[in-house]
Amino acid sequence: MSVGTIETQTAETQTEDAPLVALSDKAAEKVREIRTEENIEDTYALRLKVQGGGCSGFSYDLYFDQPQETDRAFDVKGVKLICDEMSLMYLVGTEVDYVEGLHGAGFKFQNPNVKSTCGCGSSFSV
């Protein structure tokens, strides 16, 4: 399979009730807004990644990237998402939201697999 032909599945084809990874309406709107403001090419998708690090063991990363052969690709609320298989193991059932508050604004991962987080909330353990 070449990079240009990665199979994209809609969230509805994953399971009837819950996609593997979800976006809130506000997060999907913000992703589209950022894509437009930054003139990000349509060939790029939003990568959701879990990587080792942080005081609790793992941290999230979220950025636009080109799909790779080994990625799983999803279309959620009109947003192309990609995720490597290792990250997906930790992200199943997660909803990404966009929140604004007194402490700033940003994307928040609501992950049912997390057992604990660090005090600052930037890393987690499972």
Give the per-residue pLDDT at 16. 43
The label of the residue with tokens 């290792």 reads: 86
Give the DSSP H or E segment for 45: strand 45-52
Q: Going residue by residue through the chain, which has 126 residues, state the pLDDT in tens, using 9 for 90 and above.
A: 333 333 334 443 343 445 689 999 999 999 999 999 999 999 999 999 988 876 667 788 899 999 999 999 999 999 999 999 999 988 999 999 999 988 788 898 888 877 666 555 555 555
Tokens of 29: 């709107």
Taking alpha carbons only, the member of 33, 112, 20, 111 closest to residue 78 is 33
Model confidence, pTM: 0.76
